[in-house]
Amino acid sequence: MKHPVHRWISLLLTVALLAVPCSFFILPSAAAAATMTISPNQSIQQAMDQLASQGGGTLYLNPGTYTVGYGVKVCNNCTLQGVSATNRPIVKLASGKDEPVITTATVPFTNVGVRHVIVDGGLAATEQNYPEYFHKGSDEYNQRISSGAESKAALDARIEAARINVVGIDFSDRHAGVMSSGATIENARVQNSAMGVIIGRTHQVTIKDSQVTNNGGINKYFHGLYLSIVDHVLVEGLDASNNKTGMGLKVTDFYDTNNEASIIIRNSKFNNNYDRGMTVYHMQNLVVNNNEAKDNGKSGINLINCKNGSLTNNTALNNPLVVNVSYDIWLNTTTNFTISGNVFGSKRGF
């Protein structure tokens, strides 16, 4: 049994400890992500590799133009970010190069991002409007060869000379059976590329407050923003307009399994694109809300074989009405959708 004096000492010590501010006790915490800051006269890739060697983090770019003679490879758990959200740095592909401006260091990848950056492919207008038969393997390609209009060798040589591999941001994964996780593009502008942005085979995709404009490569096939086999996607505050070939936004599952889910497209603009404003194929749990699609070459908003979702408060006007080809809003084999509050001139499927 404790002596009474000992009990009083224990009590006083307890009260004193309770009175000490919490900040007095230094508890272990997770290490902060690394950061680096560079200027236009420094190598983005060298800095990115150094950041990756520290476990990842954010590579900040001071304002200015970074002309790169290579595709910048964003490493896992790394973000390429402008120091200023308003005076955004420009990452521009050097003249004559034919590769993505920004891509990933590994396949599959994990948690890569681009923020507060202008990405410029450097293509001239004459390099952004190739005919459909420049797309190898397409019906148009095979038809041109089989018709005798051009030999395969001659056509392939012309395609090889074209800068059609200039993708502004290429976060795609072409390896069947594997999926990447985590791709973020925020407050970025992607321009003057054959294809603006490609993200493929990826979970957790976020694209916010960005512009994908003035891109173009091969008519019909090259788009402003192309999302393929993706799920848990948020597209918000996007302006995918004035793209010279293809659609402003195309979202698709090539394999028609409807496994891809949770796609939100809202508060965005898809205007004056060569083909459709926006098209979504084979997706479920799709929300299309408060978007604008005007003055496109074909349909403004086109949903094909989608299940379970909502189409609300969108405006689609001045898109051509061509029976069985183009409408302001066209729902094709799309089921179990809540539809309300949309403004349009022509429609089909609801």
At 255, which helix (H) or strand (E)?
none
User: Structural domain boundaries of the chain?
Assistant: 246-350
Q: What is the pLDDT of residues 292-340, one digit of tens each?
A: 999 999 999 999 999 999 999 999 999 999 999 999 999 999 999 999 9
What is d(CA 106, CA 178) in angstroms, rounded to the nearest whole number?
A: 12
Residue indicated by tokens 């396949």: 107
What is d(CA 224, CA 333) in angstroms, rounded to the nearest whole number?
A: 25
Residue 81's pLDDT is what? Answer: 98
Burial of 206 (0-12, 13-18, 19+ CB in 10 A): middle
CA distances for 181 relative to 80, 140, 178, 235, angstroms = 17, 35, 10, 16
Q: What is the pLDDT of residues 276-286, one digit of tens each?
A: 999 999 999 99
By DSSP bridging, strand 225-236 and strand 261-266 are parallel
Q: What is the pTM of this model?
A: 0.89
Q: For every one of its 350 residues, what pLDDT tens digit does the chain have, with 9 covering 90 and above?
A: 444 444 433 433 343 434 444 333 333 434 568 999 999 999 999 999 999 999 999 999 999 999 999 999 999 999 999 999 999 999 999 999 999 999 999 999 999 999 999 999 999 999 999 999 999 999 999 999 999 999 999 999 999 999 999 999 999 976 667 899 999 999 999 999 999 999 999 999 999 999 999 999 999 999 999 999 999 999 999 999 999 999 999 999 865 565 667 999 999 999 999 999 999 999 999 999 999 999 999 999 999 999 999 999 999 999 999 999 999 999 999 999 999 999 999 999 99
336 and 311 Cβ atoms separated by less than 8 Å? no
The encoded tokens of residue 116 equal: 């507060």
Question: Taking Cα atoms as reference points, which of 43, 94, 91, 35 lies closest to residue 63?
Answer: 91
Question: Phi and psi (nearest 5°) for 20?
Answer: -75, 135
Q: What is the pLDDT of residues 96-108, one digit of tens each?
A: 999 999 999 999 9
Q: What counts of helices (H) and strands (E) characterise the chain?
A: 4, 27
Q: CA angle 272-274-280, nearest 5°?
A: 90
